Amino acid sequence: MIPAQNIFPALLSLAGILVGMILARIAPEEIPQGKKYFHFLERVLFMSLSIIGSFLLYGQHIVLFLLFIISVILVFIFTFSITNPLVLLVSYVFFFIPYFISGTSSALVPSLLFLYGFPVGTILLYERQKKRS
């Protein structure tokens, strides 16, 4: 069962995508120039969340730890080889798994997920607007 103290920070971390989308709406002319920085930030936060998620699972569940490592590698390959921006959402939701399984009440994972939502939301909305025009 998921502790109630872990649900509120997880819900708040979902707001990162909304903030990223709002950012893309407010300054759409700045997104093409900053797209490489958004992708860089997304990759750095992906790696950070992968490492932290691995540490959360390592001490508790070895089998889940190994499955998480294999899954991280697969998600990493899919995220950077498939150009569909919805793959970013899969990786975003993917990082909730170690947070809830470990049962930790640390604010580190939700805060990194919130930050990870900035570039994900911005890239998602930018790609959607680019397809429409």
Whether 4 and 104 have beta carbons less than 8 Å apart is answered as: no
Residue 26 lies in a domain: yes
Q: Domain residues for 93?
A: 12-132
The type of residue at 116 is: Y
Phi and psi at residue 65, in whole multiples of 5°?
-60, -50
Q: Is residue 94 part of a domain?
A: yes
Number of domains in the chain: 1
Assigned domain for 101 exists:
yes
Contacts of 92 (CB under 8 A, 6+ apart): 17, 113, 116, 117, 120
Measure the CA dihedral 89/91/94/98, to 10°. -140
The C-alpha R_g of the chain, in whole angstroms, comes to 15
Query: Is residue 46 a part of any domain in this protein?
Result: yes
Residue 92's pLDDT is 77
Give per-residue pLDDT as tens, 82-109.
667 677 777 777 787 777 776 666 778 8
pLDDT in tens, 105-121: 677 888 888 998 888 88
Question: Higher-confidence residue: 126 or 6?
Answer: 126
pLDDT in tens, 10-60: 778 888 889 999 988 998 888 889 888 988 998 899 889 888 888 887 877
Inside any domain, residue 37:
yes
- The answer to whether position 85 is within a domain reads yes
